[in-house]
A and B are shown apart, each in its own frame.
Chain A
């Protein structure tokens, strides 16, 4: 069996196409990003090597701290929102007794289909000073009207909500797909054991979806770290760069200030942050096989 699953030729053929495309169209550019982050370069002329200068400058940049804080808030908020609602809705519409579940399934996914521009236009209309939300508050006689997108400290939460709202549908679809690939046998067994519906889900669905949750987590956390488009449309990074992220810093430096090298340093730091997040998630979620393997190799090392 081990030989069967270790067929060298098959492995080679299987990974070749993906790896080739990735190496050429993604990895080579990423390497260049990394290399140019050590230079002073406007994107056009010959770059001059400046060592770690860009990084020193970056760590002293006032906006760097704001950006990282924003990314953290963004990542955590969208992760919690998306995972929570996606799970609830996925379980709900997987219940055959739920009326109109086919309709609901399409409805929850609709925001994903629309382009980010449309969604951001809608929300900026809702959230603007004379927007729907403030008018609603006024209508109910509440004075809780806010400058939703213009607040130096709170705007990032609002932007994160818009993103979370739009992409919840996708995590929802992934979890639905995950539930579908769970064999119905498990549920039958649970029913025979007298489990309630909710109990069955808690004990079967969620544990079996560990892998699904793992990549949902990676998607939303790294999505939060590299957020850009929503800020760009909703606030333009403002007021005074208080809704910046590292991607925004990169964009601003590279294209507005023609400091390409500096921008790429910001991009590199961001990629490293994403990498760390992914490795940590992988470490936490490592499954039994992996753990066994690790132990085996550890023992081997001890034996040597």
Chain B
């Protein structure tokens, strides 16, 4: 057994070994030694203009690094805050719109140093500081401003100081401080924000590209391309897709209104390697509307638009990562490009310089607005946002060889990343044809690296007749709850429709999966809500398992990511309700299951494999002489009638009742059959008897889902009717059929795909 094998691989030894062998050995050998480094991709200090407004007036990026390393700092309201588990790395991401100051005067060759005024500002002795200060103060009192001080040449100097502080906090091997900033684009209250990370602080530009330059992400990517060409490696992380009003993951047109094309997709893929899946203002994995069959989808859902514009609410489709991953597959199938092969990170978006990661140490994220417990628990409306809906920060794990800027950046670049909801849960995911074989060996990680790909990668060719298998592993945070289960979330696409399904892979205790659904029953709960406590008497310390896709079809695009759940623990609102002496708020759950998400592994069929499947497209129908129905024909076909429709991809047959009052209800929904991307709500509502409005307009039936209109165009070929729906990329997947005699004849099992 491995119990006494002594690993003398301290960091120093490994670092020198790395240096010696790096020229000789392939990446995979080094990869076997990768460790998980936890860090922060998203935090603001008093240098962010809005943080300053929230009362964070005294702290700088240097304080954020101190906090990350474990030092106590002050909350903007004056009380002490301290991190529970110090971090391995951090990038401070203050907003890029900075003010100018005077230090460039002391930099020979800088624009301001060349000005005559600089002579007065240069410091030769400590006494000069007082002299300069009084001189500056005097000019203000006398209302004789120093024009040179307010010119744009100095605008970069705060960024320069920021870089200096990162350099100072950076301790290779111990703690990595990145040079980074936030590009803060919020057109029409839509969160389009990106955090930009640089690999090497020595190469950063004098000033960052800000949202004042452009609020369009493709302009940011163009600028990033230019930087990369100059040898300055960098990447962007999108965040708060959940607050983007459907604009974070478009499928048809970009922010300029131009059709999305291969160049746009390539540019996004090249620059935007990662996306933030959870932070203080909510999770962006998925939404119960989009994933009605995922019983864990309702996790820290936050519905909000920045600035709380009246008369609007955010659109759900286009705002969540799982759907973007699915749409990316469908786009790859239909158009041969995938803009959404994104890895996952977690972050905070704290504006307090310090970051709360734990349910039992939650002090808000916005200075005075949510920093006081009673105000927070009263459901204070912070610019329209109920502070009880906020939650602790997410966290990022990177699998890297060593704790240095270069090594960690490369991990982000290759998407060997995972996100957690806050605890330091460690998770691994490997995929390949034979990767599961070695799982019981003591050095299974080495074997997995050698025979498969880690999270963030693409499955290698599997060989004929082989399905991909996966190894998942998770280790609990020693200061948090035990583990409940590890799941694999699979997405796939066929004929422009994309689907998802969740498989329980390994779990704690002696639970038996449901005979028919395969779902493992809930683990139960040890939470005492009144006492806001729990015990680790259920759940596992460590989980490890293998899984081979039982429904694998080599002709279909697919992705797989692992989701690990902790046992239920009290949410921060339950803990603070006890402290304040009130009942836990009823608009949020009393308990939550902390979790971790690995970046996905993708499967892409070869061109030859792909051609074996092809559905009917609108172009095919037109070639057969189909005519598109106009408004009158659509009216005649559906209004006041019930139509039976067959989804030709899934084989599912369902009914749609169209009322004359403009409501439609989907009936006879088969709960077991995966529903195509973005129509979860319509089907879900159907099984509950809740209708959805529809209208016939410009030759299409328009249904609105989560604030987003969906259009179905109906074509007539001979005496048959086919429909094509938006978001299915040119396929016509629905056929009007006669009323069936039986929906599920016992002798005809529906084929799973």
> Are A and B a genuine interacting pair, yes or no?
no
Interface residues of B (CB under 8 A from A): none
Interface residues of A (CB under 8 A from B): none
